[in-house]
Amino acid sequence: MKFAILVNEGPFNHQASDSAYQFVKAALAKGHQIFRVFFYYDGVYNASKLSEPPTDDRNVVANWGKLAEEHKLDLVVCVAAALRRGIKDENLAPGFRISGLGQLIEAGIQADRLVTFGD
């Protein structure tokens, strides 16, 4: 099965990002495809290289980047939501790219299922 993932919450104030990350890992381990992971609303904070969690805490941003590198995932950040929150190309974490809502629409069309995490 081919999944598209929508993440609407930030990495440190809600479980949605961790749940999405674990879902993607499990789906890949079972042989499913991930067409795209789209970060929208506060979910764009998952792409900020400016976050510095304590060393004894999980680094959700780095985890997404590593997963994208290992599995050639397309991690797309909504440009409008990112700009509203001060996230631009220069402070984007490795593995992420900024684009428009058309990428979410395409993901929904191309994938068998669109799974949403967060409100």
pLDDT for res 52: 78
Dmax of the chain from CA atoms?
40
Domains along the sequence of the chain with CATH: 1-37+53-66+73-99+115-119 (3.40.1260.10)
Q: Enumerate the active-site residues.
A: 78
More confident residue, 81 or 51: 81
Nearest Cα residue to 28 out of 66, 58, 54: 66
pLDDT for res 13: 85
Q: What is the pLDDT of residues 1-48, one digit of tens each?
A: 999 999 999 998 889 999 999 999 999 999 999 999 999 999 999 999
Q: What is the DSSP string of 7-30?
A: E-S-SSS-SHHHHHHHHHHHHHHT
Share of the chain above pLDDT 70, in %: 100
* pLDDT at residue 115 greater than cutoff 90: yes
